[in-house]
């Protein structure tokens, strides 16, 4: 029996029934750079989400470092698993606030699309190498990917995402000094990103033996979460205590942020998109939890991100990526033809940067050995 497609008005009717007045409604979308007819059974933000998921750049996130490289193990997060965790937390928050979950998910799945191999270590090198040519930022690179680099459709370059998704990513580039606050769906993804990496970097560091429970007991946020768990459960072993504390941390952060957001929405009488954009930040933690999170992040920076094993792995990766950048600039014919042909329009350094930024960790290492190893 053939599928009978409901009219796209059904999307609008569903949103009117479910979403809060301060949410972003599909019917209010400003559209896309390249005009397209509406889809018979998917709203515009559903289409955005699907285009991101089916992109080459999205698949490559599975082979890109979050914090710890594969040389340190294969259990810890990759950039893709982090992205899924951010999307999961974002949907939970978005639903509780009655926001547009399709838009929230699209924004979450896109937020780290521009990361190069080896995480922030790779980003630092590419920024250093291109400092005289505009520099490099993974947030800007995500926009470059979805507007220029991805070539999946015959009618337009990039993915032709909605203006709302592009604006959401752009707000990550210009966080300071923005004339207006971003819509709540964007604010939710920023908060979810903070929740995910604070919690899961601790989890990975414990699994890899870079931290111990005793060391983490120095951190008030972890200690208080552990105390909450022990008040409910008796006789947990180290593994059970770790998992229960991580769950408590996520639940605590989400609960605190939701309570604060609801209070701000009510106090500010926020009843439309315009009011959201004119108001102070709404989706944010209470000051007390913000201070606790800052202490945890400082601890992670000192004890994990600057751990000698992490620093050594980072230095090796950076040396290789730096050598590859200069090597490809001298010998651009070693790049695929599709990137060689981009040089005339975008310049040699930017084209080399685009090529390197798209690589997975493993492919980057393979190409280094193939062309540039001494």
Each residue of 174-232: pLDDT tens digit?
876 566 899 999 999 999 999 999 999 898 888 888 898 899 999 999 999 999 999 99
Residue 78 bridge partners (DSSP) = 65
Q: What is the mean pLDDT of residues 256-280?
A: 96
Q: How confident is the model at residue 5 (pLDDT cuts 50, 70, 90)?
A: very low
d(CA 355, CA 361): 13
Of 117, 101, 107, the closest CA to residue 86 belongs to 107
SS3 151: strand
SS3 8: coil
CB 353 within 8 A of CB 116: no
Q: What is the mean pLDDT of residues 50-76?
A: 85
Structure tokens that stand for 258 in this block: 């939701």
| Residue 1 clears pLDDT 70, i.e. is over it | no
d(CA 217, CA 1): 61
Res 102: pLDDT:
97
Map tokens 């690589």 to a residue: 359
| Residue 172 clears pLDDT 70, i.e. is over it | yes
Mean pLDDT of the chain: 93
Q: How confident is the model at residue 2 (pLDDT cuts 50, 70, 90)?
A: very low
| Residue 6 clears pLDDT 60, i.e. is over it | no
pLDDT per position as a tens digit, 284-309:
999 999 999 999 999 999 998 888 88
DSSP 164-189: HHHHHHHHHHS-TT-SSPPPHHHHHH
| Residue 90 clears pLDDT 50, i.e. is over it | yes
d(CA 368, CA 328): 10
Res 89: pLDDT:
97
Q: Which domains does the chain have, with CATH numbers?
A: 19-25+43-372 (1.10.3210.10)
Q: What is the pTM of this model?
A: 0.94
Query: Which residues, in sequence order, are CB contacts of 1 under 8 Å at separation 6+?
Result: none
Q: What is the mean pLDDT of residues 101-129?
A: 96
d(CA 335, CA 359): 12
d(CA 283, CA 184): 7
Q: How confident is the model at residue 75 (pLDDT cuts 50, 70, 90)?
A: low
pLDDT per position as a tens digit, 135-161:
999 999 999 999 999 999 999 999 999
The phi and psi torsions of 31 (rounded to 5 degrees) equal: 95, -150
Res 179: pLDDT:
67
């Amino acid at each position: 029996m053939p599928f009978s497609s409901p009219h796209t008005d059904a999307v609008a009717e569903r949103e009117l029934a479910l979403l809060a007045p301060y949410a972003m409604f599909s019917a209010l979308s400003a559209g896309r750079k390249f005009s397209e007819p509406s889809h018979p059974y998917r709203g515009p933000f559903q289409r955005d989400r699907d285009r991101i998921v089916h992109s080459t750049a999205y698949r490559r996130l599975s082979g890109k470092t979050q914090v710890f490289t594969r040389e340190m193990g294969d259990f810890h997060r990759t950039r893709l698993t982090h992205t899924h965790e951010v999307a999961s937390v974002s949907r939970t928050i978005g639903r509780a606030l009655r926001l547009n979950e399709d838009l929230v998910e699209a924004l979450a799945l896109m937020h780290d699309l521009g990361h190069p191999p080896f995480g922030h270590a790779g980003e630092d090198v590419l920024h250093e190498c291109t400092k005289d040519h505009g520099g490099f930022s993974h947030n800007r690179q995500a926009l470059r990917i979805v507007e220029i680099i991805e070539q999946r459709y015959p009618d337009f370059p990039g993915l032709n995402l909605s203006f709302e998704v592009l604006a959401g990513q752009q707000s990550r580039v210009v966080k300071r000094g923005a004339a207006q606050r971003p819509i709540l769906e964007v604010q939710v993804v920023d908060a979810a990103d903070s929740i995910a990496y604070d919690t899961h970097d601790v989890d990975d560091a414990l699994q890899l033996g870079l931290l111990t429970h005793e060391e983490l007991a120095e951190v008030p946020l972890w200690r208080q979460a552990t105390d909450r768990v022990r008040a409910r459960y008796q006789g947990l072993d180290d593994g059970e205590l770790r998992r229960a504390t991580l769950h408590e941390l996520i639940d605590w952060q989400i609960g605190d942020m939701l309570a604060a957001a609801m209070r701000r929405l009510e106090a500010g009488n926020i009843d439309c998109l315009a009011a959201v954009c004119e108001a102070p930040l709404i989706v944010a933690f209470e000051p007390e939890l913000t201070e606790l999170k800052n202490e945890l992040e400082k601890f992670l920076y000192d004890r994990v991100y600057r751990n000698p094993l992490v620093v050594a792995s980072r230095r090796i990766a950076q040396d290789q990526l730096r050598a590859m950048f200069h090597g490809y600039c001298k010998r651009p014919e070693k790049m695929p033809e599709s990137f060689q042909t981009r040089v005339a329009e975008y310049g040699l350094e930017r084209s080399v940067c685009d090529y390197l930024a798209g690589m997975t960790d493993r492919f980057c290492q393979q190409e280094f050995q193939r062309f540039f190893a001494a």
